[in-house]
């Protein structure tokens, strides 16, 4: 499973990249707005930090404008993946950009039917939002499982990216369900390290070693 960081914050990206386990980045207009830097400028900086797919989302809503915006974003760096919303105009933009060889991430996916349309339109990535589905009392992981089955049935190459991840269990369950990518906030990536038995075990190993060699005369 590929790990992406769902942030536009450069400090978080630097920390994550230093661990050597970050395969890419997803941003959205909300995350970019939080950093207060225009998207083109911010994603260029992100591409200098993480060597992997970096999703940059369009903010226009007509297919014509999305296509133009997508072309501009794709020119920023070879690793840019153009993110378009799963609306009618977004699907038109996705097919056009796909035909031009521009990779797209179709976002705001909340149903298997939507995911099927994105695959048919040639999406490089589909982003089902599991946390937001859970928030309304449905099961986000069932959505991932449905998409995995449908894509396998027809041999679609579109990668399934589990988005809107809220904690380590979402990451584990998405991996078990067969999602190709999990995108998560920095906090969740950091939480994946934690296990009390790791801390306890390491503490004991170091104590034992110190005790043994402190006893040996120099």
Which is the catalytic residue, given 78, 83, 207, 211? 83
Contact 25, 48 (CB under 8 A): no
Least distance between ligand E4P and beta carbon 177 (Å): 16
The distance between the two most distant Cα atoms of the chain, rounded to a whole number of Å, is 79
Would residue 34 show up in a list of annotated catalytic residues for this protein? no
Residue 6 near ligand E4P by CB under 6 A: yes
Query: At residue 125, what are phi and psi to the nearest 5 degrees?
Result: -135, 140
Residues 107-126 that bind ligand E4P (CB under 6 A): 107
Residue 158 near ligand E4P by CB under 6 A: no
| Binding-site member from 163, 171, 181, 188 for ligand E4P (CB under 6 A) | 163
The C-alpha atoms of residue 203 and residue 89 are separated, in whole angstroms, by 56
Least distance between ligand E4P and beta carbon 179 (Å): 12
Give, in order, the Cα–Cα distances in Å from 128 to each of 36, 96, 163, 185, 216.
Answer: 26, 22, 6, 16, 59
* Interface with ligand E4P (CB under 6 A): 6, 26, 28, 107, 127, 129, 131-132, 163-164, 183
Catalytic residues: 83
């Amino acid at each position: 499973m590929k790990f992406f960081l769902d942030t536009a914050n450069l400090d978080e990206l630097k920390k994550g990249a230093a661990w050597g386990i970050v395969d890419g980045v997803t941003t959205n207009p909300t995350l970019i707005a939080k950093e207060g830097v225009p998207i083109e400028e911010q994603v260029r900086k992100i591409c200098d930090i993480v060597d992997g797919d970096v999703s940059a989302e369009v903010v226009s809503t007509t297919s014509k404008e999305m296509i133009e915006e997508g072309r501009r974003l794709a020119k920023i760096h070879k690793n840019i993946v153009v993110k378009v919303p799963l609306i009618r105009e977004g699907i038109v933009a996705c097919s056009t950009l796909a035909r031009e060889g521009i990779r797209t991430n179709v976002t705001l996916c909340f149903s298997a039917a939507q995911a099927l349309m994105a695959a048919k339109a040639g999406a490089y990535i589909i982003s089902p939002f599991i946390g937001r589905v859970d928030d309304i009392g449905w099961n986000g992981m069932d959505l991932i499982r449905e998409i995995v089955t449908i894509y396998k049935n027809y041999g679609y190459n579109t990668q399934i990216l589990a988005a809107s991840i809220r904690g380590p269990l979402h990451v584990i369950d998405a991996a078990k369900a067969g999602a190709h990518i999990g995108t998560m906030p920095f906090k969740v990536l950091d939480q994946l390290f934690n296990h009390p038995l790791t801390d306890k075990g390491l503490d004991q190993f170091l104590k034992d070693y110190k005790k043994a060699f402190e006893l040996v005369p120099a």
